[in-house]
Structure 1
Amino acid sequence: MRARLKDVAERAGVSIKTVSNVVNGHPHVSAATRARVEAAIAELSYRPNLSARNLRSGRSGVVALAVPDLDNPYFAELATHVISAADQRGWTVLVDQTQGDPGKERLVVGGIRSHLIDGLLFSPLALTHRDLTGREDHTPMVLLGERVGRRAPYDHVGIDNVAAARAATLHLAERGRRRIAALGAQRAPSAATARLRLKGYRQALAACGLAADPSLIAHAPAWHRTGGAEAMAALLGPDAPDAVFCFNDALALGALRTLLSRGYRVPEDVMVMGFDDIEDGRFATPSLSTVSPGKALIAESAVSLLADRLAGATDGPREVRVPHRLTPRESSPYGEFP
């Protein structure tokens, strides 16, 4: 028979209220009492009745994560981290893919599923801060990514894309490379992240006294492997780059494939740097240098902000900037190369 709250209280020699306080994480319980209750919970394999708890609180225990594209490994890995962080709070995550479609994104923020969820983590691609400012649904929401950022009246978690792109490009320049290409530029109004990374790339070139050559900027409407392979092919020729900074790892993996199939040696002939630190990059041949944006910390920060709002926090929008980390691997290692 499933253990009840009363059984735990009897085993620990405390009141049912004290057990409830421990289970719900209330701070006003002594360390000795908390340890005794937690030992009883473990011995009896007690599991809280979440359905009853949610019924009493008026909440579903479900939050939503809406991202543009689950085929993009970055978003798939981010979703995994969000699910893990939410699980620590006893939440279930409903994952929604918008494909960057304006209509689907409006449904997400318009409350179409508000009867199912307590809160929303949203990475918009098509909508602007004006679309979100006029939002009528009152479900707590935390924004991810750079499309809207701090311009909307909601909590936001992101990274400094300009600084991260600058560091990636400087790394290549410090390896002695002088014809550094940027792969992944986009012209679409929704391409905020691409514009920020291009800005950081240009800042790094200027800091190194290198001219910004328009022929070394390759566009990729979609940040997938195929787009990277095609854009890299367009860069090759008599004036091929000696390094390429790809705006995400999927593009970089496509670029690697093109370089190797055309007989270029990586890193000797062309160094390659990606962005996102996806798992596939660690197992590529050569392994892919990248910028790690701290996906786990992004997820934990976003879930924490949402928890605060669900707990009743009413202060103004909060901005969390997660630190990035440069991760050189075999495609642009430290050391001397011809």
Structure 2
Amino acid sequence: MAGARLKDVAERAGVSIKTVSNVVRGKVRVAEPTRRRVLSAIDELDYRPNASARHLRTGRSGVIALAVPELVQPYFSELATAVIAAAREHDVSVLIEETGGNPASELRVASGLSDLLIDGVLLSPQGLDQVTLARRERRVPLVLLGERDYEVAADQVLIDNVAAAREATAHLIAGGRRRIAAVGFLSDPLFTFSQQRARGYLDALEAAGLPHEPELTPLVPAFSRTAGQAAMRGLLALREPPDAVFCFSDLLASGAVRAVYDSGRTVPRDIAVIGFDDIEETRFSVPSLSTVAPDKRQLARLAVEALLARTAGDPEAPHRTLHVEHRLVARESTARA
């Protein structure tokens, strides 16, 4: 039946419309025989919930958008999985949008994807500057994720990059390393998370009485395995190579480890390596990679709850900045030589 309605399903299953709604939403327990009968009627009639109708009745569609730079990046794919799980707890669906870090795409998402019915947006911005973001058309609530602290009218869920980088560097120092490089310095000022991690790295060196040597902090074009490998090759070519490297992402660290082994050296005997993000592959690499682990589940939960609170409450209420916990995970790549 084309365009089957909730009423049609109820009549086919011999139940009330409310019972059908309870089965569709899955929030109220329905007797198993009744549930099977309703599901069978849904299949027979090819019933699909109407988001537009729901939006007209309640003012909400039950759909939020999550926008990330690249799903091919393991961190963002893992974050997307966590957001979907957190949203499911509130009977909310998630539309995934990939921006490529393009400012125009990020602004379109931040303004609400006007051609779609969504209740709000979770955005992990990369290329969008604060001035442009402040001029967005605020049609829907917006929560910013991750690592850049914007002074704009939006809730934010952030990682303490400075503290996390300080701990990662201090871990290398505690392991007896003294010539510590950092791979992840970016020249683009938009990438404030790189600057924050750089500050934590430098703070830890200063606290330990170790000098900052510019030759140990090469610029990279991106947070990728290829960039990490190239940067590590440059460090290994120095007259005095480092004995440890803090990489600002696990992908950079993966490339760095490859370069170390290509040079005939080993990790951690010759060079200790630590990353950032705790993506799944770090647990299975050889050696397993030490890393900083932001609590992605907590980030997802706080972000979804902040967005839903904004959609259900006063849109003009004061905006909040929430901080996500992190922990340092010591694995084989930083074991004492």
Number of the residue aligned with 2:95 = 94
Alignment of 1:1-338 (within 5 A): 2=13, 4-5=15-16, 38=29, 40-41=30-31, 44-45=34-35, 51=50, 53-113=54-114, 115-147=116-148, 149-237=149-237, 238-314=239-315, 315-333=317-335, 336-337=336-337
- Equivalent-residue separation in structure 2 for 1:299 and 1:76 (angstroms): 12
Cα distance, 1:140 vs. partner?
0.8
* SS in structure 2 of the partner of residue 197 of structure 1: helix
The alpha-carbon deviation at position 24 of structure 1 amounts to 9.4
Query: What is the CA–CA distance in structure 2 between the aligned matches of 1:131 and 1:316, rounded to whole Å?
Result: 21
- TM-score, reference length from structure 1: 0.85
**Per-residue deviation, 1:308:** 0.3
* Unpaired stretches in structure 2, ≥5 consecutive residues: 1-11, 43-47
User: What is the RMSD computed on CA atoms of the aligned residues?
Assistant: 2.4
Residue 111 of structure 1: CA displacement? 3.4
Superposed CA offset, 1:47-71 (max 9, x none): 8985465552133222111111222
TM-score under structure 2 length normalisation: 0.85
Structure 2: distance between partners of 1:2 and 1:171 = 63
Of 128-137 and 157-166, more deviation after overlay is shown by: 128-137
* Contact 2:278-2:294 at 8 Å conserved across structures: yes
Distance 1:305 1:225 in 2: 34
How far is the alpha carbon of 1:244 from its aligned partner? 0.3
Tell me how many residue pairs correspond in the alignment: 312
Paired residue for 1:28? none
Instruction: Give the letter aligned to residue 179 of structure 2.
Output: R
Percentage of identical aligned residues = 46
Any runs of at least 4 consecutive aligned residues in structure 1 with deviations exceeding 6 A, and if so which? 46-49
Shift of 1:268: 0.9
SS in 2 for 1:273: strand
Query: What per-residue deviation string (whole Å, max 9, x for no partner) do you get for residues 250-304 of structure 1?
Result: 0000111111111111111100000000001111000000000111111111000
In structure 1, runs of 5+ residues without a counterpart are 10-15, 26-36
C-alpha distance in 2 between matches for 1:246 and 1:263: 20
The answer to whether the Cα contact below 8 Å between 2:146 and 2:158 also exists between their aligned partners in 1 is yes
Structure 1 position 3, deviation (Å): 7.5
Structure 2 CA distance for partners of 1:272 and 1:161, relative to 1, 3 Å: same
